[in-house]
Structure 1
């Protein structure tokens, strides 16, 4: 082999080695998650949050400032029995690390009053998104959980979830540090109660879920703690009227809200079985890492 061929082979080998060693791009999100952003040159503030959708959701006012044009695709966001309808269009969005083309949704009712919009890790261009919640503490443990999207034709528009095994079937887990309580949908609560020995207690409370919409919630106590990676807990909130029925659950003789609508039919959409881990439990965690190429969520908690 000639000297030129030898040098070329060495360059190819070096390039292959360099490519294999190239780390995935990572973005670190700390504080309140709000970043200065632009859409089609219009300035706004968007919160990047673990429970956000892959399609950025912004206010109609922000969309109008950006002169976004709506296309043929619209959407609706279900919060229990209520729906928030929105429009979508394609535009250039910059979340602080450079512009990219993206489908963007907007609604007249804001998802949150804290910012002009929200987006989840699925809508961030970096491969790995690390949410830093608190400084690390001694004795922390990291768990790696499989990650999935919402599924369906618009799966990439929705949220990213961790999966755990519950009674031999997967249960979707989302992480929401911007809401105080850990909440299960009614269908998920029925499964959790069956697996862990759950009893409903106390009166119905109204809890804000999203877009300012409140839903009825009761507390469920578990005879056997439920583990989500390093987190273990024995109490959680239950959205009693959302996506299923809690009518068959053991009840500690608490009054039922007369305005509560209980759906008695079994849900035919197991994807609605969802447990949302709130700030009450995430206070124990220092970070949540969404590794999109690996399809993993790494949760580090004390």
Structure 2
């Protein structure tokens, strides 16, 4: 099958990504040939492009999330058939393509009611939310949560999911427009972190009690200051290091007087160790089908627009999820 692929020949800026044509071989044993209809963009793609997390080889493609249709299957494939609608998230890197070969075990079937673009926007971030709420610490009605970057793709999903469980969500955002989006998703209150001290605001909004759980993907000083937003026995969850590298944390900042916990979970480990990947994905899809959660696509571009998508993502001007359409 003839396909187009966004590739880099060297690590660097968005300009290093170029679209190239090549031909895919027939699927081997246990493999599925997939025609992709949508590709999700995530910040880890920026790390791969820059070489912070090197990709397996250069030249090579980027991306860890996509959705499409099964075109052909290899020997030993028993669960999927040509024409099946599927999606995936996680390694191997290389989803910025119009078609690719994937292991059958890495793919999940899509419900008929979830379209390809929504699936590409949901898989990685939706399964991250699934990990947080089912594996890291369950959220209960009455809990108070802090969600940093609440108007981003993951932030909106966390807000919707937690709100559906009866939790109170306080979100940090970078602008009034992003604040409106976060409030619409279910935030009880939003904090404009560029204008307000988020620690002081959290303490004010909770009458000095603090929050039960805080989610942040910025790292560095933001993570350390987020600890000051927690109530005793509260949990801070780091989900990335967009702003600063993840440094050492002095255990004295956690306890015993404050009795805090810190988690640094990885969604790829969650996907890799789930006893039944399809069952886990179905639990996430059920939140979508019930109306509790929906994909919010803030930017949709063709494969040729991958560089522009990365520029906007790094500039922090996007809201919701970013999707490429081959």
Q: What TM-score results when the alignment is normalised by the length of structure 2?
A: 0.24
Structure with a larger share of its residues in strand: 1
Structure with a larger share of its residues in helix: 2
Structure number, greater radius of gyration: 1
Q: What TM-score results when the alignment is normalised by the length of structure 1?
A: 0.26
